[in-house]
Structure 1
Amino acid sequence: MTVDDRFTDDFRERQIEREDLGTWNEIVTGPVSDWATDFSHMEEEYAENAHRIWDDLRARCPIAHTERFGGAWLPTRYEDVAAIAYDTEHFSSRAIIAGNYRPPLDLAPVGGEPPISSDPPFHHDARKLLLPAFTKTNVARQAVTTEAFCHSLIDALEGRELVDAATEYGMHIPIRVIADMLGFPAEDGARFKEFVEDALEGINQTLEEREERGDQLFDYLLAQIRDHLENPRDDLTTHLINAELYGQKLEPQHVAGTMALLLIAGIDTTWSAIGSSLWHLATHPEDRRRLVEDRSLRATAVEEFLRAYAPVTMARLVKQDMTFGGVEMKAEDWVLLPFPAANRDPERFEDADKVIIDREVNRHAAFGLGIHRCVGSHLARMELRVALDVWLDRVPEFTLADPAGVRWSTGQIRGPRALPLRIG
């Protein structure tokens, strides 16, 4: 097979030229003076104390504002988060990572990482292309290999007293799963971790640094595309290369953007959910003992961990000047949608601040709300369930070895990046 003309060397140059038409704002970092008027989701204080900050804002300023990142808003009530998530008329999804760079308006309705960055009506059709890969049936097939891989990770910890459950267990599970789905080499896991951190935690880098890191990701994806063109196989990458929309093959940027989305979002979200769940069990021995002794509780516990420690905050861009919730939003303002904060809203959930592992009614928003609800929710649930099942069965006794050694990720995906546990 000859290399598809869509994926020639000049694709990267065309992509960079178009992205340069966007808006770049001054980098703003440093301590927050008041979370209601100067918030920053990139600060360590936010990462470590997010729940306390959301509670405070919900009580005195439910829609916070900051001039950082060129202007951004942070609603903290379920009602407001849901209203914005469902409102595609006034809020665009053409960029979902809030930072110093706003992509050009002409990027809509496709966006850089379809379908999560796509607006209607394009979004509906782009999303449909992915649905077959994430059905319950397909996910169930992957559960067997995921379980075996989790056991192999535990095997590697045998004889150890101290382990980092974030980097030696949780991180590797979604990396292996998404690599298998995309048909990428499993040994490239370390590179995937770098791509994730660059995209989600590196938004305060300079424009030159962001472009360089973006080039590295694109070059990797282009190499994988070319390999799949020469060696087609039954995986998501080949599916995207061959997929058609409106009677034509997908544009190269659509293919590469969707691959980037699956690679980055598919890893960090589940890595964070697994780590947060293990952090909770390490710091709440009664819950740990209950789940070790009664496997029937684990399904509801997984849903409660997803609610209480939902990792994902998405972003939108305001389409035009408007009033929302009593505040004046300007065109091109960022709006963060902290689904974790919505899940902690006492107006929505009884005992919202408590983790109740046998909670019966639990319609949480961990996977988002509206048209962009996570297409991979079945996969994420499976990975979290299998990861916890194997860990609890193999490592029933564990505690937090060093509370000061826990490090939470900054940015829009929240989860432990270092989780020192004492096992056995």
Structure 2
Amino acid sequence: MIMRPDHVPADLVVDFNAFSGDSIEQALEKAESWRRLGPVVWTDHNGGHWVITSHAGVRQVLSDAARFSSAQPRKGVTLVEVDRELHVPIEMDGDEHRQYRRLLIPLFSPRRVQQMQDTIRDVARSLIAGFGERGSCEVVAEYARPLASSMFLGMLDWPLKDREMLEHLAELQLNGPANATQEERAAAKLDAGNQIAQYVRDRVAERRSGVKATEDMTSVIIDSTLDDGAPIPENKLVALLRLLMIAGLDTTQSVLSQSLAYLGEHPEAQEYLRTHPEEIPAIVEEFLRMGAPAMPSRTATADTEVEGVRIAKGDTVHCLIAAANHDAAEYDQPDIAVFTRAVNRHVAFSVGPHKCIGAPLARVVLAAALEEFHRAVASYSVVAAQSHSGAVWGMNRVDLAIKNATVTA
């Protein structure tokens, strides 16, 4: 807890700890209960910060990089101080951010990721073959995570044998260990970040030594130059590749796991997807709305207002994207997956200058993964599921009972 700033109204204070270990359902229920107080509330946890739950408020903050910075020293887009190089480019602002973003956008162009369709589907079918005949599946470990990780490690051309180790480190870097104190969490996140950074340095050294020289994403980034023709500084290069790894291994699998958990509890939605494959792109957008994974923060650079609430210079503002995507002021039936939703302005990929560069890849992976799963599996239901909130929301596990799977590796 902290000494609460004088400009924070007492009637806007809520008891919210982003790292409390709440499930997604619990976190969303809390956010919904705060709406009676207003779209912007304050918590004293994690250094004290604002929490934005409205769609309009989240859009305002994320769209305005001048008033809400991503590059606060020792903080970036996190709620607490960090002892690491800030992530590149999401914890940069202005021209510096633009330079690095320019390098990455071509690597995730819709045309480039569409060329990966066959590979994505081959991996999906191979994974389904591993559990289809058994009649059960733990979605996170057996489908969503290995599919997303295999695709992204392939793009980077990093050893697939390191997948599980890297997934574990990515989870620790994002949320820390479960049920840990703030000090324990900070120590675990720092250690995980250091291990990831060293792993990245080893991969960079391989490329530069000529041991493994390829045309993969890692090599392209290493050979890239900034606007002035200079190479990317070593510390920024490591921070950039570290971010790509963490984002690639965690966020897409989170949405896929949440999607299959929802479908496993709603057989009518499951059947609709199976019988309307031409609508899968729109269905993916609805699941992105329903299961947004990342909850970014910003730092106010000047005194301002959000939804009529005074935000002081230096205040931390936490954008609860999942709550914004369930805002009844923006969406009819916000807690139900409406596959025929006419307008879907979800903010799962953020908005503004920091909108997710990897969105085209995520959409392609999600669409292919959902289609292949429902092409192979005639029906399935959830036996048990467990989720988590935090810096990135997702499923810990989703156990499915599967009926009548057609296995084609």
Instruction: Report if TM-score (shorter chain) is over 0.5.
Output: yes
Query: Which digits, 9 at most, give the CA deviation of each residue in 1:110-131, with x for residues without a partner?
Result: x721111111121111101001
Deviations 1:159-195 (A, max 9, x none): 2122211111101111011101111011111112112
* Deviation for aligned residue 1:318: 2.4
Say what the alpha-carbon RMSD is for the aligned residues: 2.2
Instruction: Give the equivalent residue in structure 1 for 2:38.
Output: 61
Q: Give the match's secondary structure for 1:411.
A: coil
The 3 A distance-change label for structure 1 pair 316 and 146 is same
- Could you list the structure 1 runs, at least 4 aligned residues long, displaced by more than 4 angstroms after superposition: 320-323
**1:124-166 CA deviation, whole Å, 9 max, x = no partner?**
1110100111011110111111110000100111321222111
| Alignment CA distance shift 1:97-1:91 (3 Å) | closer
Q: How many residues align?
A: 384
Matches within 5 A, 1:101-250: 101=81, 112-202=86-176, 204=182, 205=184, 207-230=186-209, 231-245=212-226, 246-250=228-232
Q: What SS does the corresponding residue of 1:113 show, helix, strand or coil?
A: coil
The one-letter code of the counterpart of 1:167 is A
CA distance in 2 between counterparts of 1:417 and 1:352 reads 23
2: CA distance between counterparts of 1:413 and 1:112?
17
Change (3 A) 1:302 1:206: closer
Secondary structure of the residue that 2:143 maps to in structure 1? helix
Which stretch shows the higher mean deviation, 86-95 or 323-332? 323-332
Question: Conserved in 1, the CA contact under 8 Å of 2:120 and 2:365?
Answer: yes
Q: Which amino acid aligns with 2:80?
A: N
- Matched with 2:406 is none
> Amino acid of the residue matched to residue 192 of structure 2?
R
1:407-422 matches, cutoff 5 A = 407-422=386-401
The answer to whether the 8 A contact 1:270-1:384 is kept is: yes
- State the distance in 2 between where 1:382 and 1:35 align: 41
Per the alignment, residue 6 of structure 2 pairs with: none
Distance 1:191 1:392 in 2: 29
For the Cα contact (< 8 Å) 2:23–2:387, is it kept in 1?
no
Match of 2:361 among 379, 390, 400: 379
1:91 pairs with one of 68, 73, 79: 68
1:77 to 54, 57, 66: 54
In structure 2, the residue matched to 1:29 is none
Q: 1:251 to 1:265 in 2, by over 3 A?
A: same
* Cα displacement (A) at 1:206: 5.1
- 2:115 counterpart SS class: helix
Q: Which residue of 2 aligns with 1:15?
A: none
Q: Distance in 1 between matches of 2:314 and 2:346?
A: 29
- Give the deviation of 1:412 after TM superposition: 2.1
Q: In the alignment, residue 354 of structure 2 is paired with which amino acid? A: H
Describe the superposition over 1:384-420 as per-residue Cα deviations: whole angstroms up to 9, x where unpaired.
Answer: 0011011001112100113xxx111231221212101
Deviation, structure 1 residue 323: 4.5
User: Among the aligned pairs, what percent are the same residue?
Assistant: 28
Letter in 1 for 2:129: D
**1:312 corresponds to which residue?**
294
Distance 1:126 1:144 in 2: 29
**What is the CA-CA distance between 1:213 and the residue it aligns to?**
2.2
CA distance in 1 between partners of 2:23 and 2:49 (Å): 15
1:273 aligns with 2:255: yes
Q: How many angstroms apart in 1 are the aligned matches of 2:190 and 2:341?
A: 45
Q: Is the partner of 1:243 in helix, strand or coil? A: coil
Residue 8 (structure 2) aligns with: none
2-structure distance, mates of 1:215, 1:365: 31
Q: Is the 8 A contact 1:69 1:98 kept in 2?
A: no
Q: Distance in 2 between matches of 1:409 and 1:334?
A: 22
Q: Secondary structure at the match of 1:214?
A: helix
Change (3 A) 1:363 1:212: closer
**SS of structure 2 residue aligned to 1:313:** coil
Structure 1: 5+ residue runs without aligned partners?
A: 1-24, 27-33, 105-110
| Counterpart contact for 2:264–2:381, Cα < 8 Å | yes
**Match of 2:204, as an amino acid?**
I
**Residue 352 of structure 1: CA displacement?**
2.3
Question: Given the superposition, is the C-alpha separation of residues 96 and 389 from structure 1 closer, same or farther in structure 2, using an over 3 Å criterion?
Answer: farther
| Partner Cα separation in structure 2 for residue 408 and residue 116 of structure 1 | 26
Paired with 1:266 and 1:35, the residues of 2 have a C-alpha distance of 36
Measured after TM superposition, the shift of residue 334 of structure 1 is 2.2
Does 1:299 find its partner at 2:281?
yes
| 8 Å contact from structure 1 (residues 40, 46) kept in 2 | no
Q: Which range moves more in the overlay, 43-52 or 414-423?
A: 43-52
Structure 2 counterpart of 1:216, one-letter code: Q
Alpha-carbon distance in structure 2 between the residues aligned to 1:117 and 1:335: 15
Maintained 8 Å contact 1:98/1:334: no
Matches of 1:396 and 1:413, distance apart in 2:
31
Letter in 2 for 1:242: D
Cα drift, residue 229 of structure 1: 1.1
1:102 deviates by 5.0
Residue ranges of structure 2 left out of the alignment (5+ in a row)? 4-10, 404-409
Amino acid at match of 2:55: Y
Q: What's the TM-score once normalised by structure 1's chain length? A: 0.85
**For residues 251 and 282 of structure 2, what CA distance do their matches in structure 1 show?**
19
